[in-house]
Amino acid sequence: MADLTQAQWSEQLEADEHAVILDVRTDAEVAEGYIPEAIHMDIFNAGAFMEKAKELDTSKNYYVYCRSGGRSGQACAILNSLGFNNTYNLMGGFSEWNGASTNS
């Protein structure tokens, strides 16, 4: 896992053709807006999170975010323990995100 600043995360994401964006926030948080093309996997719903995680392609690069960077760090650690080698945590999370976003 790598903790990336907002600038590093968005720059690396844009150049990565094997990138997958994961949003690990709650449904209520996602309803307030999200990064386009993100896959929603609420880390607070541990069972569903683990099921979805096991369906993901371990060869891809995962850019993970939550509201402030804490839960996404935990999600990266879980993914790493499942054999994912390339996980990137967005420091500061969606609350500091200045890139493109969508309201649902």
Residues acting as catalytic residues: 66
Kind of pairing between the strands at 39-40 and 19-23: parallel
- Three-state SS sequence of 17-33: CCEEEEECCCHHHHHCC
